[in-house]
Amino acid sequence: MDAMEILTEVERIQPFYQPIFSADEHRVIGYEILGRFSRGKEHISLGPFFQDPSIPEEYRIDVDNYVLESALRKILANEENFLIFINRDPNLLLFDHGENFLDILKKYLQPDQMQRVVLEISDTDYSHNLEPLQHLLTYYKTYGIKIALDHLGEESHLNRIAQISPHILKVNLDKLRKTGVDSYQVILFSLSMLARKIGANLLFEHIEQEHQLMFAWKNCARYYQGFYLAHPSANLIDKNLLMEKFRSECESFIGYEKKKLNAIYQKTLDFNQEIQSLITKHKKLDNYEKLLMALAQSLESMCFRFYVCDEKGFQKSPNILLHKSGSWIIQKEYLNKNWSWRPYFLENIIKMTYEKRGILSDLYSDIETGEMIRTFSYPLTNDDFLFMDLSYAYLYENEALL
């Protein structure tokens, strides 16, 4: 699309609105404003125009402002009090120290309406010193303007996100999907943990299929956006349009997840009973190495590694490891290593001490094998604890554990 065509025929530019839905209300809670250029019956995205560095900043800012003012006029004619998501390139925003953007908002919105504005900036578009942008965003926040970081994915800078401290983290499902399943989960876990720490909500965009909606729900998304829910349109839609669909799918997700959690709980009970029985059977064995080898022989179809640690995390046994040859080997070099630094280690020790029963960990990537595994931990005495690493093959056979 020719940039001059856009600049000389501004009257063919119009705002489109893509609805954003919420998990807690099951309805539209806001719209993202998008620029479109009309050519006959075709409406062409202005995204490439705004992202083209060969076009002078002033021209891109003018078109951006034209879209924004057109959108605000229509939005204010509507009595609904929804959030207004506005995209801005952080480099263009700082071109005039953010004054023009704020002036437009003040022109159309009353002071108490500023809290409806969600300013979306891209996490990957800005490569300069963060300080000027951080100061500007902090200033905007004093007006009640919310900040959303967009296009989060494999190139995200977690330190930058924490510094900006946005209200919303917008996760790009399409971008994450291209990184591979394991990386996908790791990045998403990091983002969700960061969101929780800084008090931000997660918004998942590019939801194009039902399983992606479920994935977003399962990963603590409060807001949802994508073609599966609603395409961008020149008109605003009934906020309750998908309420019944959302409620039905949410109930389906809840049912599936409860079934899975019940299965995990039952597996935990089964493991506790089986380990207690085996330990009673082998109680005459006089050291942990012999006990672990006996357990390994009995649980070979489930586990690939056994070891014992004390309540401070120091390993009191060697590793008993299932070698790729199919035989169990003893790794004495692991004696006296300390694992208290690992996530949830001390928390789980305290939990087992008080509850007097074993715990099944969440799914995680094993440091040495790189495979996704779970660990079952069990209190042997008041001071010593058994750790059994369940193999990926076993988890795969028991789908609820994945």
Average pLDDT score over residue span 353-357: 96
Other CB atoms within a 10 A radius of the CB of residue 152 amount to 30
pLDDT value at 154 more than 70 = no
Q: Where are the domains of the chain?
A: 3-232, 256-401
Other CB atoms within a 10 A radius of the CB of residue 73 amount to 11
Nearest one of 21, 48, 380, 384 to 221, comparing CA atoms:
21
On whether the pTM is more than 0.75, the answer is yes
Average pLDDT score over residue span 250-275: 95
- CA 254 remoteness from chain centre: 18
How is residue 168 written in tokens?
């919303």
For 256-401, CATH number out of 3.30.870.10, 3.30.450.20, 3.40.50.2300, 3.30.230.70 equals 3.30.450.20
pLDDT tens, position by position, 314-353: 999 999 999 999 999 999 999 999 999 998 999 999 999 9
Average pLDDT score over residue span 121-132: 78
pLDDT of residue 185: 73
pLDDT band at 179 (very low <50, low <70, confident <90, very high): low
pLDDT band at 160 (very low <50, low <70, confident <90, very high): confident
| Burial of 297 (C-beta count, 10 Å sphere; 0-12/13-18/19+) | exposed
User: What's the chain's average pLDDT?
Assistant: 92
DSSP letters of 51-105? T-TTS-HHHHHHHHHHHHHHHHHHHHTS----EEEEE--HHHHGGGTTHHHHHHH
The percentage of residues in the chain with a pLDDT greater than 70, rounded to a whole number, is 96
Q: Residues 83, 109: contact at Cβ < 8 Å? A: no
pLDDT tens, position by position, 68-88: 999 999 999 998 899 999 999
Q: Hey, which residues does 365 pair with through a beta bridge?
A: 372
CA torsion, ordered 54, 57, 61, 62, to nearest 10 deg: -80
Amino acid at site 103: D
For 3-232, CATH number out of 3.30.1330.40, 2.40.30.30, 2.40.160.60, 3.20.20.450 equals 3.20.20.450
